[in-house]
């Protein structure tokens, strides 16, 4: 068999095996060296294929697909710096525990380290940010070798779906010719399983990805902690929000403990399951007097570190209280070092098992304190009559987005404002964000990926700097099955820095931190033929509902003044804390 035919059957076998393992979405960044992979996946017929000119945007789109579907998506790149452009999405996938397959084409071994064009060292390129790196051998005409390649495909999928979920990097060295060449029929006949896979259509190896579970004795020991009278449940961002969020709510209802649910936890927006969800905790936990009044004797936490700095400080303030963290993976999730018990077990199953052992042990006065604080905070927010601010944008979006909708929330200020002002609601919303590394790159592309994987009205809220970082992502708007309404909060620079002490250091602050740019992003919308609207915050609700109804990708731009926004945040936080204090006394 010729080298070209060996390369073709090599790539086809790998694509076939991924399809058998359930992989459906493949993102392509055009290039020459990746031709064998691209043609194999394109000719297979079982994949949803999408193309983007920018590897970084393509990788973040794949990340959004995997984040929303829970299944691995693949990104294919050519060799050289194209592979490096995928790195930011790999980091985010690793830290936010999202299954992602990174398939990079490489030059043949003889060209490595030989000053060959478009050749870099791709071996172990992503370091510790991938769950596994596999440098695939060069294609050969050999039945056992081809069978081994099939096991590599199965292993890659299984590894990406083993807790903690994450990216897997598979590197393919290809020599020319790269174009498809039909394999030798004699080889196919001599090695039917290697060439064509199992005849029953199943993967070459059936992989069982287990979840760690506690023994009955361990569950009983953990359940004994639920006898605490002043317990609270903290639910952080989750890689499986629909499962773990619901389990956390069920445990809250069974114990009577209040639940502080991060917007990305899966427990903030949707049926409460009888749980008492605390609203606006980020605003009132900033007050030391309230922190002292809400003194727990047990904290049970699932998910990543909470978004709210005030909640993090509250946990630190009560360092020494029994603090149980339940997490299935190997990544340590206790940067504040407040945990007293770290339970490495599947959170959904663990919380579910604890529900059956709980006896609503919460002290009623304790539960009432949190309920009263939450209700007072809501009242103070509703009573505010000052100028509208960026927090009102997130409150409006969380209220207007229809049941079952997707909300992709950018890092920096939008996710913090959603935490503060996005009040719990009984109608289900799915909230996504790139909070693993909390970067603002790739937000536009990730939102499109979420919309493609989970067909539902989709809104992405982001700031002008995040929008600037991923303008190339707007090219995804040509995909007709993933419209997104972007709510662009434009404050002409880095608004979050106005919340930090550095704001007092002028002129360096404006030049190096706030960085006003003066750009008119309407031109970006025109390039991609997108609907564009300039709005006052007061008009956002009506405009958002109309944009969602249109089913088109559009951009709703609301302007904000950074200084005014900072002042209004401080005023509202002070008013909320004061009203909560007065109510608790």
- Residue 203 domain flag: no
Tens digit of each residue's pLDDT (9 = 90 or more) over 456-485: 999 999 999 999 999 999 999 999 999 999
pLDDT at 307: 94
Cα separation, 535 vs 528, in Å, equals: 20
Range of the domain at 291: 216-381
Final residue belonging to a domain, choices 381, 406, 421: 381
**Do 321 and 296 meet the contact criterion of CB atoms below 8 Å apart?**
yes
pLDDT at 141: 86
pLDDT at 508: 66
> Would strands 485-490 and 458-463 be described as parallel, antiparallel, or unpaired?
parallel
Cα separation, 388 vs 577, in Å, equals: 19
Tens digit of each residue's pLDDT (9 = 90 or more) over 52-90: 999 999 999 999 999 999 999 999 999 999 999 999 999
Domain total for the chain?
3
- Residue 568 domain flag: no
- Residue 209 domain flag: no
Tens digit of each residue's pLDDT (9 = 90 or more) over 128-140: 999 999 999 999 9
For residue 49, pLDDT over 70 is answered with yes
Cα separation, 38 vs 46, in Å, equals: 13
Examine the domain organization and report whether 226 and 311 are in the same domain: yes
Examine the domain organization and report whether 41 and 132 are in the same domain: yes
State the burial class of residue 250 (Cβ atoms within 10 Å of its Cβ: 0-12, 13-18, 19+). buried
Examine the domain organization and report whether 249 and 343 are in the same domain: yes
Query: Among 103-107, 136-140, 211-215, 306-310, which is the least confidently predicted range?
Result: 211-215
Confidence of residue 505 (pLDDT cuts 50, 70, 90): low
Q: Give which of 365, 382, 314, 310 is closest to 584, Cα–Cα.
A: 365
Q: What residue has token string 């919308």?
A: 525
State the CATH number of the domain containing residue 412.
3.40.50.970
- Residue 585 domain flag: no
State the CATH number of the domain containing residue 350.
3.40.50.1220
Examine the domain organization and report whether 531 and 407 are in the same domain: yes
Query: Among 1-10, 16-25, 69-78, 441-450, which is the least confidently predicted range?
Result: 1-10
Examine the domain organization and report whether 403 and 365 are in the same domain: no
Final residue belonging to a domain, choices 381, 404, 424: 381
407: β partners: 431, 459
Examine the domain organization and report whether 63 and 118 are in the same domain: yes
Cα separation, 333 vs 205, in Å, equals: 33
Examine the domain organization and report whether 164 and 243 are in the same domain: no
Stretch 316-337: mean pLDDT: 92
Where do the DSSP E strands lie in 199-250? 231-235
Cα separation, 306 vs 315, in Å, equals: 10
557: β partners: 488, 534
pLDDT at 208: 85
Examine the domain organization and report whether 178 and 237 are in the same domain: no
Backbone phi, psi, residue 301, to 5° = -125, 140
Tens digit of each residue's pLDDT (9 = 90 or more) over 159-180: 999 999 999 999 999 999 999 9
pLDDT at 133: 98
- Residue 201 domain flag: no
Confidence of residue 331 (pLDDT cuts 50, 70, 90): confident
> Would strands 298-302 and 259-261 be described as parallel, antiparallel, or unpaired?
unpaired
Examine the domain organization and report whether 417 and 546 are in the same domain: yes
pLDDT at 511: 61
Confidence of residue 335 (pLDDT cuts 50, 70, 90): confident
- Residue 578 domain flag: no
Examine the domain organization and report whether 83 and 116 are in the same domain: yes
Q: What percent of the chain has pLDDT over 90?
A: 87
- Residue 132 domain flag: yes
Examine the domain organization and report whether 402 and 353 are in the same domain: no
- Residue 564 domain flag: no
Confidence of residue 499 (pLDDT cuts 50, 70, 90): low
Final residue belonging to a domain, choices 162, 196, 230: 196
pLDDT at 330: 78
Q: What percent of the chain has pLDDT over 70?
A: 96
Examine the domain organization and report whether 304 and 443 are in the same domain: no
Confidence of residue 396 (pLDDT cuts 50, 70, 90): very high
Backbone phi, psi, residue 431, to 5° = -110, 130
Tens digit of each residue's pLDDT (9 = 90 or more) over 424-452: 999 999 999 999 999 999 999 999 999 99
pLDDT at 496: 59
Q: What is the mean pLDDT of the chain?
A: 94
């Amino acid at each position: 068999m010729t080298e070209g035919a060996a390369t073709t059957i090599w790539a086809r076998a790998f694509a076939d095996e991924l399809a058998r393992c359930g992989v459906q979405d493949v993102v392509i960044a055009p290039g020459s060296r990746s031709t064998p992979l691209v043609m194999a996946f394109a000719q297979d017929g079982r994949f949803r294929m999408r193309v983007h000119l920018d590897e970084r945007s393509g990788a973040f789109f794949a990340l959004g697909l995997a984040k929303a579907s829970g299944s691995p998506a693949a990104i294919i790149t050519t060799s050289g710096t194209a592979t490096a452009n995928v790195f930011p999405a790999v980091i985010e996938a690793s830290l936010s525990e999202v299954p992602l397959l990174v398939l990079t084409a490489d030059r043949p071994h003889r060209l490595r380290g030989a000053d060959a064009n478009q050749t870099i060292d791709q071996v172990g390129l992503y370091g510790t940010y991938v769950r596994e790196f596999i440098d695939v051998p060069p294609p050969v005409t050999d039945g056992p070798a081809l069978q081994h390649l099939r096991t590599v495909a199965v292993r890659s999928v299984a590894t990406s779906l083993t807790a903690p979920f994450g990216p897997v990097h598979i590197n393919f060295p290809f020599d020319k010719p790269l174009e498809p060449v039909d394999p030798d029929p004699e080889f196919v006949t001599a090695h039917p399983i290697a060439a064509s896979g199992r005849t029953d259509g199943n993967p070459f190896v059936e992989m069982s990805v287990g979840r760690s579970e506690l023994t009955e004795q361990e569950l009983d020991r953990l359940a004994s902690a639920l006898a605490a009278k002043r317990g609270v449940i903290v639910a952080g961002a989750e890689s499986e929000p629909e499962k773990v969020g619901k389990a956390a709510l069920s445990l809250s209802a069974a114990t009577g403990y209040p639940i502080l649910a991060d917007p990305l936890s899966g427990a903030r927006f949707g049926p409460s399951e009888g749980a008492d969800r605390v609203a606006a905790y980020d605003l009132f936990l900033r007050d030391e007097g309230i922190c002292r009044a809400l003194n727990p004797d047990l904290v049970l936490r699932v998910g990543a570190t909470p978004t709210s700095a005030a909640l993090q400080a509250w946990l630190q303030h009560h360092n020494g209280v029994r603090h149980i963290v339940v997490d299935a993976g190997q990544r340590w999730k206790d940067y504040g070092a407040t945990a007293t018990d770290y339970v490495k077990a599947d959170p959904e199953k663990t919380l579910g098992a604890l529900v059956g052992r709980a006896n609503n042990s919460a002290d009623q006065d304790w539960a009432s304190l949190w309920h009263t604080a939450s209700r007072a905070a809501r009242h103070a927010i509703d009573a505010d009559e000052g100028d509208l601010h960026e927090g009102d944008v997130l409150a409006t979006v969380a209220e207007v987005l229809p049941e079952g909708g997707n909300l992709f929330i950018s890092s920096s200020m939008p996710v913090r404002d959603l935490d503060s002002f996005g009040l719990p609601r009984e109608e289900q919303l799915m909230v996504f964000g790139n909070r693993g590394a909390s970067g603002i790159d790739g937000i536009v592309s990730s939102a499109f990926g979420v919309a493609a994987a989970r067909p539902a009205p989709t809104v992405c809220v982001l700031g002008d700097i995040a929008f600037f970082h991923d303008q190339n992502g707007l090219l995804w708007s040509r995909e007709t099955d993933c419209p997104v309404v972007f709510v662009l909060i434009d404050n002409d620079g880095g608004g979050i820095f106005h919340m930090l002490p550095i704001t007092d250091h002028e002129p360096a602050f404006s030049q190096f931190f706030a960085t006003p740019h003066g750009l008119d992003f309407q031109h970006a919308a025109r390039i991609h033929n997108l609907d564009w609207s300039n709005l006052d915050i007061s008009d956002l609700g009506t405009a958002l509902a109309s944009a969602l109804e249109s089913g088109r990708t559009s951009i709703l731009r609301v302007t904000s003044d950074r200084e005014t926004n900072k002042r209004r945040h401080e005023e509202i936080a002070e008013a909320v804390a004061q009203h909560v204090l007065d109510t608790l006394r």
